[in-house]
Amino acid sequence: MLSIIVSFSLQTSAQSDQHYTMFMYNKLVYNPGYTGSRDVTSFNATLRRQWVGIHGAPIADNISFDAPVGTYMNPTRPHAVGLSLGRQSTAGERYIDMRAYYAYRLQLKKSVLSLGLSAGGSLYGSYRGVYQYFSASDPAFASEIDIFLPNAGAGAYWSSDKFYCGLSVPSLMQNYYDKDQGRKTSKQIRAYYLSGGYVFNVSEELTVQPQFIARYAFNGRYSLPFNADINLSATAYQRLMVGLTYRTSGGIMGIVHVQISRRLNMGYAYDYMISALNGYSGGTHEMVLGYDIVRDNFKFLTPRFIRKF
């Protein structure tokens, strides 16, 4: 149990951006440059339940929207906008994150370079009622807190029919905020993201996609360990994707994603963490649901991490 307590103490000392196993279907939340990159109006929802069975374990939900601006009849739409609303909660703490996105897209010879910004912030809350403690006078549990933490992000996303590459900082500001009787003892963590992927055509019916996302976070006081997800996926008939991901911090994740129709898709991921928590939890579960407004009936979606379709 000591490892669980230590893990929670690290989680609650400061906020970092949520890690999603199906990062290839949720790139807007960590890279503003991704906004509008698929040339369709997209709605996405992600639900993540970490360490199921452990009281107070992390929960994360996110819904987002992004789209290029202008008529789809134009071959190039340089402007794109988006919105997202996310929630994270861990053992008596909660973040509700709200962001607006804008991207400017530069049409290159056979690819697109997109430069994006985000603005918004997080509503942070701490609630003593969920804790079990020995003394009501303990200063660590002396008050309940609600505070808004403004923030902004930036990112670049370069993509074509065959590849993508992204570099981003989703939260540039590192706000100090109160957790202990009015003393600003906590500081948000700035995280840096690098991601990429490539599509190999095995046949007309089958493609293979290696892809990765790497994260590093620090705030001047301390840093979080470097962490990367390395994924290999196969997609059949542009309908069914099956993938396997290795996380360098110690975990193996399986992913299944189905393009149900031209507009509707859904996916599921299971995280098997290589740690002492396996004896106490039922693993980590994640689901995504997406809906695209596709107006050109002569086009069909390829794997969702690719820009075009």
192 belongs to a structural domain = yes
Mean pLDDT of 37-50: 93
Per-residue pLDDT tens over the stretch 3-23:
333 333 333 344 567 789 999
285 belongs to a structural domain = yes
| pLDDT confidence of residue 131 | 53
| pLDDT confidence of residue 129 | 54
The average confidence (pLDDT) of the chain is 83
| pLDDT confidence of residue 67 | 94
**pLDDT confidence tier of residue 187, bands split at 50, 70 and 90:** confident
List the domain range (segments joined by +) for residue 6: 2-293
| pLDDT confidence of residue 101 | 98
Select the more confidently predicted residue: 20 or 56. 20
**Most confident of the ranges 15-29, 128-142, 222-236, 266-280:** 222-236
| pLDDT confidence of residue 308 | 35
Select the more confidently predicted residue: 242 or 282. 242
102 belongs to a structural domain = yes
Residue 58: phi and psi, rounded to 5, are -60, 140
Rounded to an integer, what distance in angstroms lies between the CA atom of residue 271 and that of residue 291?
24
Rounded to an integer, what distance in angstroms lies between the CA atom of residue 156 and that of residue 66?
16
Least confident range of 38-42, 91-95, 203-207: 91-95
| pLDDT confidence of residue 138 | 56
| pLDDT confidence of residue 124 | 87
Rounded to an integer, what distance in angstroms lies between the CA atom of residue 38 and that of residue 49?
28
**What's the chain's length in residues?**
309
Total number of domains in the chain: 1
**pLDDT confidence tier of residue 26, bands split at 50, 70 and 90:** confident
User: Which tokens in the block code for residue 275?
Assistant: 């740690």
Q: pTM for the complete prediction?
A: 0.84
307 belongs to a structural domain = no
| pLDDT confidence of residue 10 | 37
User: Which tokens in the block code for residue 88?
Assistant: 């994270």
Rounded to an integer, what distance in angstroms lies between the CA atom of residue 226 and that of residue 259?
33
Mean pLDDT of 139-162: 83
The answer to whether the CB of 284 falls within 8 A of the CB of 20 is no
305 belongs to a structural domain = no
pLDDT surpassing 90 at residue 132: no
108 belongs to a structural domain = yes
65 belongs to a structural domain = yes
Least confident range of 76-80, 229-233, 266-270: 76-80
**pLDDT confidence tier of residue 139, bands split at 50, 70 and 90:** low
Q: What angle do CA 168, 174, 175 make, to 5 degrees?
A: 145
CATH number at residue 149: 2.40.160.40
299 belongs to a structural domain = no
| Strand boundaries in the chain, DSSP class E | 41-49, 59-68, 79-90, 93-107, 112-126, 145-159, 163-169, 176-177, 186-187, 190-198, 200-201, 206-218, 223-236, 240-247, 251-259, 264-273, 284-293
| pLDDT confidence of residue 146 | 80
